[in-house]
């Protein structure tokens, strides 16, 4: 059952090969060793305590809830890409062709993939969008890269950089449990198991999340999230800005605060 979910590969990395049954077990074991989150928002829980996936006792590893939750990461990411490419893209192109208004896009988590797929899929839009703000994006940290290790091709959303008139801003936070701790486990392959630090810093895997570790290999500018009335020095022409938000974003869902809205406002001034 799980092989069917994971077989499609990762379109942002250009890798078609899915994991084997043995690799699925390795991934699940690796995930069991990670710490658990206590933030209900990390599990999509509404109005109360998070329902932890683990059970006590000898058969913790065999609890299917934990493994299924891990592997739905890829399934939901694929769906977000389809919605963006096949649905939102048409709306976006219609707006750009029938108006001259500056269009500023914003997306959170898988919504960031929706936005990127809408802009990056197929031919270029009638005119560039003005800016894009990605809040804790659940996509590969190499999605904008000029060259991706393994595939030796540009990242899946490399073309987006040429389709934005002003800036692309992307937040990342060490406090984002799912994107920092589990995202890359759901996308691991056997040839990744021995690669602990492929970017020379704290990135644990070539499958690491953009919202957990920030963009790499795209000529990005790294700056800290600024508070209200502090001025961003934003560059144009689709320049990638990695917004270090450890002090501003305390969890995956903590994206409605003065730092994030100030970032969006700053983009509207470009």
Q: Is residue 70 part of a domain?
A: yes
Task: Report pLDDT digits (tens) over 129-141.
Answer: 999 999 999 988 9
Quick check: pTM over 0.85? Answer: no
* Nearest-angstrom CA–CA distance, 231 and 220: 18
* Nearest-angstrom CA–CA distance, 50 and 59: 21
Q: Is residue 54 part of a domain?
A: no
Give me the half-sphere count of Cα atoms (radius 13 Å) on the Cβ side of residue 184: 26
* Nearest-angstrom CA–CA distance, 224 and 242: 8
Name the strands in the sheet holding 239-244, side by side, starting at the edge strand that comes first in the sequence: 104-108, 131-135, 167-172, 239-244, 221-224
pLDDT for position 55: 39
pLDDT for position 200: 42
Q: Is residue 255 part of a domain?
A: yes
Q: Is residue 120 part of a domain?
A: yes
Q: How does strand 167-172 pair with strand 239-244?
A: parallel
pLDDT for position 255: 95
Q: Is residue 55 part of a domain?
A: no
Q: What is the mean pLDDT of each run of 10 residues along the chain (270 residues)?
A: 60 53 69 52 38 43 64 75 91 96 96 94 95 95 86 88 98 92 63 34 75 94 97 97 97 96 97
Q: Is residue 56 part of a domain?
A: no
Q: Is residue 48 part of a domain?
A: no
- Collapsed DSSP state (helix, strand, coil) of residue 101: coil
Q: Is residue 47 part of a domain?
A: no
pLDDT for position 49: 38
Tally the domains of the chain. Answer: 1
pLDDT for position 50: 39
pLDDT for position 234: 97
> What is the domain range of residue 127?
2-42+61-268
Task: Report pLDDT digits (tens) over 13-66.
Answer: 444 456 677 766 766 666 665 545 444 444 333 333 334 444 344 445 556 666
Nearest to 63 by CA among 27, 22, 32, 21: 32
């Amino acid at each position: 059952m799980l092989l069917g979910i994971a077989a499609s590969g990762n379109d942002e990395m250009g890798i078609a090969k899915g994991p084997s049954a043995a690799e699925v077990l390795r991934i699940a074991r690796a995930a069991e060793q990670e710490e658990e989150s206590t933030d209900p928002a990390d599990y999509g829980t509404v109005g109360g305590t998070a329902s932890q996936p683990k059970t006590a006792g000898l058969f913790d590893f065999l609890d299917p809830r934990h493994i299924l939750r891990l592997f739905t990461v890829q399934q939901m990411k694929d769906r977000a890409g389809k919605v963006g490419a096949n649905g939102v893209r048409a709306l976006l192109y219609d707006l750009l062709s029938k108006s001259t208004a500056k269009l500023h896009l914003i997306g959170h988590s898988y919504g960031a993939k929706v936005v990127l797929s809408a802009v990056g899929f197929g031919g270029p839009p009638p005119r560039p969008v003005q800016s894009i703000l990605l809040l804790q994006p659940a996509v590969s940290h190499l999605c904008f890269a000029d060259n991706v290790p393994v595939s030796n091709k540009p990242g899946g959303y490399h073309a987006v950089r040429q389709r934005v008139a002003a800036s692309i801003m992307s937040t990342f936070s060490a406090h984002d449990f799912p994107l920092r701790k589990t995202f890359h486990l759901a996308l691991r392959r056997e040839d990744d198991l021995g690669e602990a630090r492929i970017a020379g810093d704290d990135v644990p895997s070539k499958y690491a999340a953009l919202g957990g570790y920030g963009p790499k290999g795209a000529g990005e500018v790294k700056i800290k999230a600024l508070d209200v009335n502090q001025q961003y020095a934003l560059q144009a022409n689709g320049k990638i800005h990695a917004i270090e938000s450890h002090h501003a974003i305390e969890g995956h869902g903590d994206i409605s605060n003065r730092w994030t809205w100030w970032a969006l406002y700053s983009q509207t001034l470009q």
